Chain A
Amino acid sequence: MLEHDYGTPARISETEVTLEIDGMQVCVPQGTSIMRAAALCGINVPKLCATDSLEPFGSCRLCLVEIEGRRGYPASCTTLVEPGMKVRSQSEKLQVLRKGVMELYISDHPLDCLTCSANGDCELQDMAGQTGLREVRYGFEGRNHLASSKDESNPYFVYDPSKCIVCNRCVRACEEIQGSYALTITGRGFESRVYAGKSFMESDCVSCGACVQACPTATLQEKSVIEKGLPEHGVVTTCAYCGVGCAFIAEMKGDEVVRMVPYKHGQANEGHSCVKGRFAWGYATHKDRILKPMIRSRITDPWREVSWDEALDYAASEFRRIQEQHGKNAVGGIVSSRCTNEEGYLVQKLVRAAFGNNNVDTCARVCHSPTGYGLKQTLGESAGTQTFKSVEHSDVIVVIGANPTDAHPVFAARMKKRLKTGAKLIVIDPRKIELVDAPHVRADFHLQLKPGTNVAILSALAHVIVNEDLVAHEFIRQRCEEKAFLQWRDFVSLPENSPEAMQEVTGVPASLVRAAARLYATGGNAAIYYGLGVTEHAQGSTAVMAIANLAMATGNIGREGVGVNPLRGQNNVQGSCDIGSFPHELPGYRHVSDTTTRQLFEAAWGVHVQSEPGLRIPNMFDAALDGSFKGLYCQGEDIVQSDPNTMHVAEALSAMECIVVQDIFLNETAMYAHVFLPGSSFLEKDGTFTNAERRISRVRKVMSPRAGLADWEVTMRLSRRLGYPMDYRHPSEIMDEIARLTPTFHGVSYEKLDRLGSIQWPCNDDVPYGTPIMHVGHFVRGLGKFIITKYVATDEKVTKRFPLILTTGRILSQYNVGAQTRRTENVQWHEEDVLEIHPHDAEDRGILDGGWVEIQSRSGETVLRAKFSERMQPGIVYTTFHFPESGANVITTENSDWATNCPEYKVTAVEVKPASEPSSWQKTYNRFRKAQHELLRSPGA
């Protein structure tokens, strides 16, 4: 499904240039190439090495044109338009020249067009046609590359050098778009070949697919296309992985996905992708999908496949029984941030209207709830302030507690692009993340602090800014509360907040902190990007507020290139929070105690809405253990694997009487469930996701729900059985209701989303096209509020018994609990979670690289393979939580953020020692999992 290719990138200029091409007048911005100008008026100059995602290169010599008054035949891709220029794109001479070029290409190209996987989607084939190539005078017997062997090492695409025309598009895509520099051209002249090293799999290639996308022939080709043939139609939709929210064209053959291609007009990704969104979609049709509803009375019983009616009747009757026996507040719901806005809205509506309480929460609880709290308090809105594109205008970029190249790779590529052109970089992270020292990117400062000391270092940065008078006085005078600023100023300027005083706490030399603070405050447009390394702490909310303080103090808010930018972990973290999934807020971040808001929803829903906040996820577990919380409707979330202290979670779930899990797989939580309702993947339903930049994008159904119902339909049916009918005919009607009841969404509709591509909220009568940059001119809360953020050490301290700090995170190829990516070829990059440990710590303990180690905390223990790494300082170990059997969250504790209960995943005191067998938890859990899978396959199922 080719999008039109204008040959060279668009240029922005206030000056327009008018010229004539083939007798047609065309007016384009100054700096535009002749090739693009021609394409804009419908004239397609032949080309091979040019494509509009890459800077012009001028190597193929196919795009030659004639320009009146000039000698020779300049390449139209590298020649810029000039006023009054008269260009001819076609002439007999040009035809002869182009045909000559094509003859050379084809003389060293296999003539297997009919059986080639790119037949019908090959630019070389097209050019042969356009240039009228009928013969190759050189013959095919000369030296050629036709016998070159393929590199099939990458699980998703093939490199076939016999088809390569050495146009450099792949190499340039790797450099310019992705910034990985994994490919190069080796050799000269005839020997020139694309080179990835020994093989693609052993190279630095991150499988983003940019090279495959750029390739004009079948040299780099998706294996899925080789296997299935070319797609026949495409549907634009939104990726269901991280919070970047990339737009893709799902290229289809009937109802089968052939490939996912990044959509050039996608406003979040502008045609780029990562290995997950581009290639790791096979889970949607994986054999592990559960496609029939199932029920059982006890979790030791076999599952019994039943009809939708029976499953939903049973679930509803159990919820009602529990409420009758244990009270209205004994049940609740959890909805994942992986679900659409519409699904999240329906779950919270079911809980509030049908259950009659506010016991609803989202997995944003365990990732970015401190963002919601902290930014609301300081700036007035629970959301990031910028567009992703804004980074192109940044002069200083601060990355704190985030690892964008792994967790938000498409945005990281955009960020690296800006860094390569001169922006300065400050990384604040306990680990030496890739950005600290990547190809052509090097952090100006890496403040390698000890885990758990973000607030200390942020206070130290603020101390320097205040005490060296680097404060934006005029901005603060006009835009912020004076009293709060003065109190904050007095607080941060205290000697105990100086970098020198904090050095012992953070482990970061004071001189580095001082220099970084000066750079942030004086280096031009400065933007802060942060992730879960900020929020998932006992002081997560405090750190978010400290970040907002810094931005206000330096006037770095309210315009392009600056701001406070939370990098949301999952695809719809922002959206799930926006639409009322928190137990204390109705849609639009309005507290349930607000009578006016409540009355609005009561009138619309025809029910009484409770004015008291409900239980948050960790509170639900505690309430389950004290016997006052007995029933849970859990949509799309795997709380057993993703929440901290697994044994505590499992114990809580075991104490409950009815757990209903709605998911595409029998996840770890489902093993404790009594009702399983088969869910639908993002390919099987309509809806919207809202990404980290508040961008609402459409999710479009490309195939029927494999289990028969989309998730929103399942929630409606359950609600009806609970005595509260909902009758939406399509998710667009759900969005219409959200828009009616939520001022910040008032102008959002599917029709407008289809028309504009996407919308960044707030979108209403005042801003009908949305709001790319927030807090322009004034803060949402009126005046910005500085808040004192005193560093308080976490209670999770190292001791003689637990002398190391464990911090957790994710990697590029896997996603969250891995339910999706573990069921794809991405396991070839990461087939198990390992413990990264510094060689010094390992040596002290007699641990071998690759050997088994037991990690013990006060919560529990697990056994993983050790991997030596110097990305952390001695004393700090690191792991991921992508595989359930790893038990990373068996170790993490229930320590949580003071304001939101977001778990402190990033700091756990542990001891590590060599091990020879799985931990007792692993043995027990593996037995439990095996038994549960047998119950799935037993005769009752």
Chain B
Amino acid sequence: MDMQNLIHMANQIGDFFETVPDREEALSGIVNHIRNFWEPRMRLQLLEHVDAQSGAGLKSVVLEALRLHRGDLLLHD
């Protein structure tokens, strides 16, 4: 998957949830959206990027959400 595209998509999601007044709700909103709509290989690649590149290019709200709720994005099947 094109990493830049994944970063762009994640940031777009961040743009939307950033407006939620409750910060925790916003962070979980970002992760839940990615969890519900992104196929596992996309999620795992994004997490790899967070680990290997410190999430370069990701908006701070997205990065915070991914770090806080990392476990929710791992495979469950």
Contacts and interface: CB of A to CB of B under 8 A. Distances in A.
A900 B37 contact: yes
A613 B1 contact: no
B53 interface: no
Interface stretch (A559-567, A618-626, A748-756): A618-626
B71 interface: no
A583 interface: yes
A145 B13 CA distance: 70
B19 A788 contact: yes
Given A788-B19, A898-B12, A613 B38 contact: yes
A538 B19 CA distance: 16
B10 to A, nearest CB: 9
Q: Which of B12, B21, B38, B42 has the most CB of A within 10 A?
A: B12
A619 B42 contact: yes
A611 B77 contact: yes
A255 interface: no
A894 B5 contact: yes
A614 B20 CA distance: 27
B9 interface: yes
A795 B4 CA distance: 14
B49 to A, nearest CB: 14
Interface string A349-367: 0000000001100000000
A611 B42 CA distance: 15
Contact of B9 (A358, A612, A790, A901): A901
Contacts of A591: 36
A611 B2 CA distance: 24
A827 B20 CA distance: 50
Nearest to A615: B39
Given A610-B77, A611-B76, A622-B1, A898 B13 contact: yes
B33 interface: yes
B13 A619 contact: no
A567 to B, nearest CB: 24
Interface residues of A, number: 34
Given A583-B39, A612-B39, A619-B39, A899 B77 contact: no
Contacts of B9: 896, 898, 901
B41 A899 contact: no
Given A628-B41, A898-B13, A898-B15, A623 B20 contact: no
A764 interface: no
A329 B41 contact: yes
Interface in B1-60: 1-2, 5, 8-9, 12-13, 15-16, 19-21, 33, 36-42
Interface residues of B, number: 23
Interface in A195-220: none
A593 interface: yes
A426 to B, nearest CB: 26
Contacts of B42: 619
A861 B42 CA distance: 30
A626 B1 contact: yes
B1 A614 contact: no
Contact of A625 (B2, B36, B76): B2
B21 A487 contact: yes
B75 interface: yes
Contact of A613 (B5, B19, B21, B36): B36
Interface in A602-619: 610-616, 619
A623 B15 contact: no
B65 to A, nearest CB: 14
B40 A612 contact: yes
A584 interface: yes
Nearest to B12: A898
A78 B19 CA distance: 61
A899 B12 CA distance: 8
B5 A622 contact: yes
Given A538-B12, A898-B13, A901-B9, A584 B36 contact: yes
A14 B10 CA distance: 58
Contact of A898 (B1, B16, B41): B16
Contact of B1 (A593, A616, A623): A623
Contacts of B5: 622, 894
Contacts of B77: 610-612
A501 interface: no
B21 to A, nearest CB: 5
A617 B66 CA distance: 24
Nearest to A898: B12
A445 interface: no
A133 B16 CA distance: 76
A792 interface: yes
Contacts of B13: 898-899
A808 interface: no
Contacts of B75: 612
B5 to A, nearest CB: 6
Contacts of A614: 39
Contacts of A896: 9
A802 interface: no
A619 B40 CA distance: 11
Contacts of B12: 538, 792, 898
A487 B25 CA distance: 13
B22 to A, nearest CB: 9
B37 A613 contact: yes
Nearest to B40: A612
Nearest to B13: A898
A542 B76 contact: no
A491 interface: yes
Interface in A858-896: 894, 896
Given A491-B19, A788-B20, A898-B16, 10 more contacts: A542-B16, A583-B39, A611-B77, A614-B39, A616-B39, A619-B38, A623-B39, A625-B2, A896-B9, A899-B13
Interface of B: 1-2, 5, 8-9, 12-13, 15-16, 19-21, 33, 36-42, 75-77
- Interface pairs A-B: 8 shortest CB-CB: A898-B12, A790-B19, A788-B19, A615-B39, A792-B15, A611-B77, A622-B1, A612-B77
27 contacts: A329-B39, A329-B41, A358-B39, A487-B21, A542-B16, A584-B36, A584-B37, A593-B76, A610-B77, A611-B76, A612-B76, A612-B77, A613-B38, A616-B39, A619-B1, A619-B38, A619-B39, A619-B42, A623-B39, A623-B41, A626-B1, A788-B20, A792-B15, A795-B8, A898-B9, A898-B15, A898-B16
